[in-house]
Structure 1
Amino acid sequence: MAARRPFQWPALLTSDGRGIAYGGDYNPDQWPDSAIDEDIRLMRLAHVNTVALAIFSWDKIEPREGEFTFDWLDRVIAKLGKAGIAVDLASATASAPIWLYVKHPEVLPIDKYGHTVNPGSRQSWQPTSPVFREYALRLCRKLAERYKDNPYVTAWHMGNEYGWNNRYDYSDNALKAFRSWCKKKYGDIETLNAAWGTAFWSQHVNDFSEVLLPRHMGGDAMVNPAQQLDYERFGNDMLLDFYKAERDAIAEICPDKPFTTNFMVSTDQCCMDYAQWAGEVDFVSNDHYFHEGESHLDELLCSDALMDSLALGKPWYVMEHSTSAVQWKPLNTRKRHGELMRDALAHVAMGADAINFFQWRQSASGAEAFHSAMLPHAGEDSKIFRGVCELGEALQTLSAAGIQGSELERSDTAILFSAESEWATRSQTLPSMKLNHWHDVRDWYRGLLDAGHRADVVPLAYDWSDYRTIILPTVLMLSDNDVQRIAAFAQAGGTVIIGYATGIIDDLFHVGLGGYPGAGQGLLRDMLGIRSEEFNILGDEAEDEPHEIRLTNGITSRLWQNDVTFIATDTAVVAAYTGTEAADWELDAVPAITSHPYGKGTAIYVGCDMDRHDIALLVGAFGIEADDSRAVHTIRRTADGVRFDCYLNRDTQPVSVTDIDGDPIIAYRCGNGSTHGEYVLQRNSILITKRVE
């Protein structure tokens, strides 16, 4: 891992600067000045103690080029600060004013079809545009000069959700920057040709000036996957570079206040390589929006598990989530009674020390008018606002109990995540277009929860050597160094679980030869004690063909089966394919799941896809401790030995938890059971207790 910036948490305006941060995005520029005093009255009623300010306010701050109007922002910050509400001040560059686009249309991004991306939404600018950068950094410096000594501004909020609308830019500026990026990475053109495999389809380039962006190439044309993967890396790096330029422009003037930017991690999105980004912020922040349906809580916990790892176990910041429904999904479900409180406190249970929403006051117009907020259209006398006040009281109670600054206890099991493997699974050149690394991480996480075991989710690039078990679900791409680290982990006594589509390619998108999985020059195969020759891909598209294959242990595979043609003499077969469907595909009795001793440890191969219920059934066979509890239990500890135990009900029916030792701090939608130390958790409940160890 590269060196990180030192952890620095933003202070509140409390007497000691401590407490759980609570509030949300505040956009007073959408409202008349007369609304500000009413907003602050209601914020105090709700126990709000922090707001993110000016995220989309560039045109209010600079209504015409070079004309800066800070008086309104001064007044808002002063009123907030005097009310005890700290300000996380944005760089305001996420959405540029129309006058800038009119004067400089050359800053607008270009899509892969050559169309200009028009202004009117967020991030309608090229990350590589020198013109846009000049305007953006000027604004950053103006803000820093104005508010560097303001005691109410306690943190800087850079940009907003970098990559939301300009992750993929195909402009001439991007092309020039991509060529420079490739030259820096590869050094000489023949190294690039070898990496990209340009001998295929006559793609050899003679000079970096011939390197192209992977623009649209025709109706069913397939992009060179190695070129596309490098373009994904380039897009991540260009936005990270832009973030750092904004941060550093402010830090030169105001170095003493912490910097962050809001990541976008939930299990339906993880667009950037946040394992890199996390090292460039002073505290890690995330925007998390719940997944509709029965996976709601599990998905939240899985995303938070990755956030806690990105923060290296330090507290992290929920910068945005929703009080109820959003307006940007195909299905915008609202939250049920109790979910507003339960979701927020679930983030706390997973290590968050800040709970914030988008946004404070629900917009009356614009693209997000139907996105729920802390103060809804219905106003103060509403279920949502009463829930917001109730949550504020609960967070104050937890702050008073001293939970802020405590850290989440780690699991002994790590599910490894790689942003680059997630990008790679989107390639249209793979044996199946239905692969999704991040969703497989979620399914393994949920399967383990079903078995009563909470795992951590850890970036592949980080240090996971202290875990007992590591799981690699559809980590499609593994470098030689990755494989060596995995083998060393097993040699030292760890258990490694390798998924069916893991290690198929290396970090250049080259297929390892000699059989699958081929990563690591055959070392991964040696560790597993198996070799596969072909992939058996199932799907409804094949009419009158079997759509699933059973295993001897009762599990069913529905997407992908590896045809294992060799196992070492000391490889044990845990399960094989069986039945008429397996026979039809010539897989009858072929090993599907195997276990192989390696050094002091064990290497387990799961050669086919499984759903979360099948994963839960196999947990015991993999040596992972399990039980049948439907409650999730997390522990946060302080440096001086205070322990907070958090219990969440994952079910729609009441769940009992027993042998609870400690004083209840929060007992939301739960009560005492029939025996001492027993609590009954209702739907959408959470119990948090405190004790000194």
Structure 2
Amino acid sequence: MSLSTTKALGRSDSAIRRPFRWPTLLTDNGAGLAYGGDYNPDQWPETTWDEDIRLMRQAHVNTVALGIFSWSRLEPREGEYDFDWLDRIIDKLGRAGIAVDLASATAAAPLWLYERHPEVLPVDRYGHVVNPGSRQSWRPTSPVFRTYALELCRRLAERYKDHPAVTAWHMNNEYGWNNRNDYSDDSQRAFREWCRAKYGTIDALNEAWGTAFWSQHVNDFDEILLPRHMGGDAMANPSQQLDYERFGSDALKEFYKAERDAIARICPDKPFTTNFMVSTDQCAMDYADWSDEVDFVSNDHYFHEGESHLDELACSDSLVSGFALGRPWYLMEHSTSAVQWKPLNARKRHGELIRDALAHVAMGADAINFFQWRQSRSGAEAFHSAMLPHAGAGTRVFRDVCELGGLLKRLGEAGLQGSRVAPSRTAILFDADSEWATRCQTLPSMKLSHWHDVRDWYRAFLDVADRADVVPLRADWSGYDTIVLPTVLVLSAADVRRLADFVRGGGTAIVGYATGLVDERFHVGLGGYPGAGDGLLRDVLGVRGEEFNIIGDEGEDGCDGCGCGGDGVTAVGDPATVGLSNGAVCRLWANVVDEVAPDAAVLARYEGDTATEWELDGTPAIVRHDYGDGTAYFVGCDFDRGDIARFLRDVGYGRGRGRADCADGWADEPSGQSDARILHVTRETDGRRFDFYINRAHDDTVVREPAGETLIAYRCDTGVADGAGVADAAGAACRAVTLHRNGVLVTTTASRTQ
């Protein structure tokens, strides 16, 4: 395996991004929104296939992902291939007008391969072999496994390169689900090669990793070790650990590229993708980097139970759209209802199946697919919901699946496909390096989470009716008025210069409390915090800090292990929070800012008894600094979602003018203003716009004067309300649509450019 062409930090220039290619459907013009899911006919008697296809047509299914876990059926014994069954089902699907996204089938290898070649099995950080029997029980760096996998890819490509029903290639499945971190000898050899390609000389590596600490100097690349388990409370070199995370993402990407290229040499005219795993509880790879290597971006998303359900979906989708550079993307998997892999697996309530799918469309998805078509009767995912449940077609789930298919067909016929999500004014920046870095065991607090902070800021913008985009750190920010950096722990000097140029040129930057503490080598900048960019970040923000005041719930006794005894004080007498002069509360991390630039304004200070106890009373907590033609805000402590929304209203974001601190996070807004309880997203083409209004609340909400023609009114009441209900600014009756819980309204109108 060669990783010699991998660029530093695992990033690639967007100029070499693969051209965007979208799979066609088997419609008259090849267009429309794709709808379907994973289909596993080899897990069922062939006598069920015709019924499957009949029900698929009833549900308006027009595409399926096929063969994802079928290697043992395709090659039941080494070198013996059986494609006849696959021929038959692809032909049946094609005649029914259902396109096939054909998998490389390499996600789960047959047991005979593991029996013959146990050396392909991954090894965990403790030296334990990861045994077969699940998915992805193979080393990304194994030359033996690669040989077998690529042979299967070539066989599939030769067989189906000209089949008209096969319109896309689906490489592997959820790369890294079970083999993201491999500590085998194969991995160690590949990591040494990766380091050699990145650093060139061993002196450069020693400098980058700071190996003078703890006598870790290496004399040659062949002495480099993986950060395996080193003892009970031993701490890995954070610079080495960060490089190992980058290497792991690159190693799996190189395996994906090898599979893709093996098929592309035989079948170059059909688009390639692989399904990312982006939700705010996971983002396993550097998907900004991976997105350069697919023809269209795909994602698997599974809902979060509870009040964050819809907001988390929108936040994750916004980042996927950022990876796709605003082009349409493909929802490869989500669930019709409950999954089976969480400690508690809640079902979706009435309306959530359709609402979630339409929300994905609103956020840029031109394909809506589920795992899976027919619910398994055996195996590890038997209790994972599906489009066709155990109870059959006479079920609420299947009726909703059919209704959703009709709604998507209507949107496709209206011309939604290919439209783009209208950009917001604000971009929240996400970076894989910072997400990996915040998991480090050597930081002032081990409770940091970059991705969760992105989610909290995203939700707070929704709460003030001012939706933000989530984009990769490496993205072009020039089209935005404001950028937000929540816990972007890792900032290179080049990133800081980009930030400074953005603000100097008239932009606004909001910089969070643990941003810019280290550079891309995990080296701390000197001269005070935040030190990134050799002090340039401090110049932009107009602040200098000398320490961090870490607080929280790690006391010895008390409720839920927090040691506060229920009164907000830890068992050893230290306050578990710090108050601010604006009413906000810090619960984790307070920067001890000791210098503020003369031209900076302090917007809030630590204040009160808790601040006094921590010797922070009067210390600046939020600072505004004009820099060039723009403005930078330094938010020097952690906030919860409600306090973030408070800050945003205080500095002029959002259009709500009601209560600043509501129990549900939303302000009461006057008639005629945007309603923070509604997620409003617009998609646009050259000649038409589509407005999606989705109820975020549990009770009814009202859309006032929606523009254009109604395409979809799901769980909505339409009509006119009088002055006692909904009125325009003058108090006159106006057209209004009431969205019930899980309600969605979609309207369309000719855009101004038509």
Q: Shared fold (TM-score greater than 0.5)?
A: yes
Q: Deviations over 1:605-642 (max 9, x none)?
A: 00000011111111133343433411011111112x20
| Separation in structure 2 between the aligned mates of residue 277 and residue 125 of structure 1, nearest angstrom | 20
Counterpart for residue 676 of structure 1: 734
Q: What letter corresponds to residue 743 of structure 2 in structure 1? A: S
The structure 1 residue matched to 2:699, chosen from 643, 653, 676, is: 653
Q: Give the secondary structure class of the aligned counterpart of 1:343.
A: helix
- SS state at 2:182 partner: coil
What per-residue deviation string (whole Å, max 9, x for no partner) do you get for residues 494-551 of structure 1?
0000000000111000111111000000000011010011111111223221011111
Deviation at 1:677, TM superposition (A): 2.6
| In 1, Cα distance between equivalents of 2:303 and 2:83 | 36
Paired residues of 1:619 and 1:626 also in contact (CA < 8 A) = no
Q: Does 1:401 align with 2:414?
A: yes
**Residue type at the aligned position of 1:686:** V
User: What is the alpha-carbon distance in structure 2 between the residues aligned to residue 533 and residue 181 of structure 1?
Assistant: 36
SS of alignment partner, residue 90 of structure 2: helix
Matching of residues 159-558 of structure 1 within 5 Å: 159-542=172-555, 543=571, 544-558=573-587
Q: Which moved more, 1:258-267 or 1:611-620?
A: 611-620
Residues of 2 paired with 1:78 and 1:608: CA distance? Answer: 60
In 1: Cα distance, 2:651 partner to 2:288 partner: 28
CA displacement at 1:400 relative to structure 2: 1.2
| Distance in 1 between residues matched to 2:682 and 2:278, nearest whole Å | 22
CA distance in 1, matches of 2:60, 2:45: 23
C-alpha separation between the residues in 1 aligned to 2:710 and 2:297? Answer: 29
SS class of match (2:489): coil
Aligned to 2:10: none
Contact kept, 8 Å, 1:260 with 1:281, in 2: the verdict is: yes
Q: d(CA) in 2 for partners of 1:43 and 1:60?
A: 24
Per-residue CA deviations over 1:291-338 (Å, capped at 9, x if unaligned) read 111000000000010011111111100000000000011221110000
Q: Following the alignment from structure 2 to structure 1, what is the Cα–Cα distance between the partners of residues 590 and 344?
A: 33
Distance (whole Å) between structure 2 residues aligned to residue 682 and residue 116 of structure 1: 52
Question: How many residue pairs are counted as aligned between the two chains?
Answer: 692
Aligned-partner residue type, residue 557 of structure 1:
C
Task: State the match for 2:683 in structure 1.
Answer: 636
Question: Hey, what's the Cα distance between the residues in 2 that align with 1:485 and 1:677?
Answer: 46
Please point out which of 686, 709, 715 is paired with 1:663. Answer: 709
SS in 1 for 2:332: strand
Residue 653 (structure 2) aligned to one of 624, 628, 631 = 624
Identify the match of residue 642 of structure 2 among 585, 601, 613: 613
Aligned AA (2:734): H
Distance in 2 (alpha carbons) for counterparts of 1:77 and 1:339:
32
Q: What CA deviation, in whole Å up to 9, does each residue of 1:381-403 have, x standing for no partner?
A: 11111110010111111111111
Letter in 1 for 2:645: A
Distance 2:62 2:217 in 1: 58
Name 2:614's counterpart in structure 1.
585
CA distance in 2 between counterparts of 1:392 and 1:657 reads 25
In structure 2, C-alpha distance between the alignment counterparts of 1:638 and 1:461, rounded to whole Å: 26
Q: CA deviation at 1:50?
A: 0.2
For the 8 Å contact 1:661–1:677, the answer to whether it is kept is: no
- Cα shift readout 1:7-53 (whole Å, capped 9, x = no counterpart): 11100000000000000000011100001011001101100000000
* Paired residues of 1:557 and 1:608 also in contact (CA < 8 A): yes
For the residues of structure 1 that align with 2:85 and 2:239, how far apart are their CA atoms? 50
Deviation at 1:467, TM superposition (A): 0.5
Counterpart of 2:149? 136
User: What is the alpha-carbon distance in structure 2 between the residues aligned to residue 428 and residue 332 of structure 1?
Assistant: 31
**Cα deviations across residues 180-234 of structure 1 (Å, max 9, x unaligned)?**
0001111111111111111111111111111000000001100110110000000
Aligned structure 1 segments of 4 or more residues deviating by more than 4 angstroms? none
Q: Compute the RMSD of aligned alpha carbons.
A: 0.8
The correspondence for 1:98, drawn from 89, 103, 111, is 111
Distance in 2, matches of 1:626 and 1:575, equals 22
Q: Take 2:648 and 2:397, find their aligned partners in 1: how far apart are those partners?
A: 40
Aligned-partner Cα distance in 2 for 1:207–1:352: 48
Give the TM-score normalised by the residue count of structure 2: 0.91
Partner residue in 1 for 2:670: none
Q: Give distance in 1, aligned partners of 2:689 and 2:201.
A: 55
Deviations 1:54-106 (A, max 9, x none): 00000000000011100000000000010000000000000000000000000
Judge conservation of contact 1:535–1:562 (CA < 8 Å) in 2: yes
- Deviation for aligned residue 1:246: 0.3
SS of match in other structure, 2:128: coil
Indicate if the aligned counterparts of 2:702 and 2:739 stay in contact, CA closer than 8 A. yes
Local SS of the residue matching 1:444: helix
Give the Cα–Cα distance (whole angstroms) in 2 for the partners of residues 375 and 625 of structure 1. Answer: 43
Moved more, 540-549 or 429-438: 540-549
Checking the alignment, whether the CA contact within 8 Å between 2:297 and 2:330 is kept in structure 1 is yes
Does the CA-based 8 Å contact 1:425-1:436 persist in structure 2?
yes
Between the aligned partners of 1:178 and 1:684, the Cα distance in structure 2 is 48
Residue aligning to 1:119: 132
Whether the aligned pair in 1 keeps the contact of 2:461 and 2:654 (CA below 8 Å) is no
Deviation, 1:555, is: 0.6
Instruction: String of CA shifts for 1:158-193, please: whole Å, max 9, x gaps.
Output: 010001000000111100000000011111111111
Structure 1 residue runs of 5 or longer lacking an equivalent are none
Structure 1 counterpart SS, 2:283 = coil
- Choose which of 632, 655, 666 in structure 2 pairs with 1:603: 632
CA distance in 1, matches of 2:600, 2:325: 36
1:652-685 per-residue CA deviation (whole Å, 9 max, x = no partner) reads 0101111211110000001124143311111101
Identity among equivalent pairs (%): 69
Tell me the equivalent position of 2:88: 75
Task: Provide the C-alpha distance between the structure 2 equivalents of 1:244 and 1:677, rounded to a whole number of angstroms.
Answer: 53
> Is the Cα–Cα contact under 8 Å of residues 562 and 592 in structure 1 kept in the other structure?
yes
What is the distance in 1 between the residues matched to 2:349 and 2:129? Answer: 42
C-alpha deviation, 1:138, in angstroms: 0.4
Structure-1-length-normalised TM-score: 0.99
Cα distance per residue 1:449-483 (max 9 Å; x no partner): 01111100000011112200000000000000000
Equivalent-residue separation in structure 2 for 1:489 and 1:620 (angstroms): 23
